Homo-oligomer: A and B are copies of this chain.
Amino acid sequence: MSAMEIESPPPPTAEEEAQLKQLYADFERHHMMPLWTQTNDLMPFTPKPKAVPHVWKWSDLYPLAKRSGDLVPVGRGGERRAIGLANPGLGGHAYISPTLWAAIQYLGPRETAPEHRHAQNAFRFVVEGEGVWTVVNGDPVRMSRGDFLLTPGWHFHGHQNATDAPMAWLDGLDIPFSQQMDVGFFEHGSERVTDYATPRFSRGERLWCHPGLRPLSGLQNTVSSPIGAYRWEFTDQALTEQLLLEEEGQPATVEQGHAAVRYVNPTTGGDVMPTIRAEFHRLRAGTVTPARREVGSSVFQVFEGKGSVILGGTERKLDKGDIFVAPSWCPWSLVAEAQFDLFRFSDAPIMERLHFDRTHVDGGER
C-alpha cells in the first residue's frame, strides 16, 4: 500500500484534555476500553507472539527429571511426575506455546501413575527407553523407543513401569489452549491401572494397524485415532522408502533430501486428534530446508542424528533429545550434518479448522 498523507487534527485544548481524561476514567468505571489506543497491540500486521523461540537440551532435561524421580512421589493429586517446558516469553506459565504443553514425564522402577481422564488431548513420544505400558480405556499399550502414543480427550489412562529401570518420555498436550479457552474437564479413575498385562501389541493396534484395511466392526468414524501406538519400525520403514524412491527418481519426499510422514487417524485420513498434528521428519546429511513461517506453533524433538536449526535467524546446535519450539510466524530452517531424524508436533489442526492457517516458504509462497 502506498504511503498516505493524513492531515493531523489540531492539538487538544486543556479543556478537551480534561474531558478526555474524564471520559477514559468513565470508560474504566463501566468496564470499557477504547480500541484506538491499542490497535497495534490487538491487531498487529503479522503475529507478534509473546512466546519466544527456545531450545531445551536433553542433557539438562533428563538429569532433572531423574532427580525429581528420587524426590517426588507419583500418585493421586499430583497425578504425574511431569515437568513442563515453560516458554521464557510466557511469563511463568508452563506453556511451551500459547496452545501447546510439552513435558518430560519420568516413571521410576515398578511405579504406577494412576488413571484419570480429561478433555485435553495428549500424546507421548519416546526418545529413549522402554518398559512402561500406558493403559488407555483399559487397553495396555507398550511404550518403546521411537513410538508415538495417543491418549485422546476423555479417554481414561494411566501408566505402569513393568521393569526395574526408570523411563522418561515426552508428553504433549493442548493444556494451554484448553486453559485459556476454558474447555477443560477432568475426572479421576482407578488408583492403579486397570490392566497390568504387558502385551507386545495393544488391542487397538491389533484391530487397526493393517495398512488399507478397516475392521467391519469399526465403520463409524472417530474424532481421534483408534490406534494407541504408532510403532517406530513402521515410521522408520516409511521414511526409508521415501528416500529410496527419491533416489530412484520418483516423487516421494516433501522436497529434495527431506522425507516426512504425518501420523493420521485411519478412519478419516486426517490428524490423529482435533487439536494436535504429529509428524516425523528425516533429512539426508547435507540437507538444508528453506526457511518456513507458519501460523501456529510447532515443537520438535531430535530423535537421532546431528544438525541444527536456524530459528528466528539464529542457528542453534541440536543433539539427540533436544527440544525446540517455533512460535507462530517465526521462521525455522533445519540443517542436517548427518542423517537427521526429528519428531514434530503442532497446533496446525486448530489453525486449519478455523481457517487461520498461512504458510510462507522462502523462495515460494505455498
* Chain A residues within 8 Å of B, Cβ to Cβ: 1, 4, 6, 9, 12, 16, 19-20, 23, 26-27, 30-39, 41-49, 51, 54, 56, 60-61, 64, 67-68, 70-73, 75-88, 92-94, 98-99, 103-104, 118-120, 153, 175, 177-189, 191, 203, 206-217, 219, 221, 223, 225, 227, 230, 234-235, 237-238, 241-242, 244-245, 250-254, 260-269, 274-275, 279, 295-297, 327-329, 347, 349-351, 353-356, 358
Contact = CB atoms under 8 A, between A and B. Distances in A.
A100 to B, nearest CB: 11
B253 A217 contact: yes
9 contacts: A30-B56, A42-B175, A45-B185, A98-B180, A183-B354, A207-B241, A210-B261, A215-B262, A349-B354
**Residue of A35, A45, A56, A350 most packed against chain B (CB within 10 A):** A35
Nearest to A73: B9
Contacts of A56: 30-32
B295 A183 contact: yes
Contact of A23 (B41, B71, B245, B328): B71
B181 A210 contact: no
Given A32-B64, A216-B279, 18 more contacts: A19-B67, A26-B64, A31-B85, A31-B86, A34-B83, A34-B84, A43-B120, A98-B182, A177-B181, A203-B250, A206-B245, A207-B252, A212-B225, A212-B263, A215-B261, A219-B262, A264-B266, A349-B354
